[in-house]
Amino acid sequence: DSGVTQTPKHLITATGQRVTLRCSPRSGDLSVYWYQQSLDQGLQFLIQYYNGEERAKGNILERFSAQQFPDLHSELNLSSLELGDSALYFCASSGTSGGAGYEQFFGPGTRLTVL
């Protein structure tokens, strides 16, 4: 158990819909990362937050957005869903945004299926 929690575990929805994925980082970790894992693209970095502020963006679509709240939990919002958005979405956390926080702790993931 990494200490990172994600809800829900599974999500099935239809094209065009909007969903919210939730992540609680390990106690004390200020950085939260979102990754998307699909069969053809592997693990892709989407976005990072550090202590409530956006820190870095990866291959995140404009239809997707995220935020980190004062209690450090984070939400990833996916809208106008397409079939290709079906994937495993992981949240990870680390202890610092500086050089020492190289180990990331991954949550169990949310499996999103878009029908």
For the record, the structure tokens of 10 come out as 């599974």
Q: How far is CA 27 from the centre of its chain?
A: 17
Q: Are strands 19-24 and 53-57 parallel, antiparallel or unpaired?
A: unpaired
Instruction: Confirm if 6 and 107 have CB atoms less than 8 A apart.
Output: yes
Instruction: Give me the 66-85 binding string for another protein, x by CB under 8 A, dash otherwise.
Output: --------------------
- Based on CB atoms, which residue is closest to another protein, 14 or 27? 27
Binding site for another protein (CB under 8 A): 2, 31, 33, 35, 42-45, 48, 50, 55-56, 58, 90, 92, 94, 97-99, 101-109
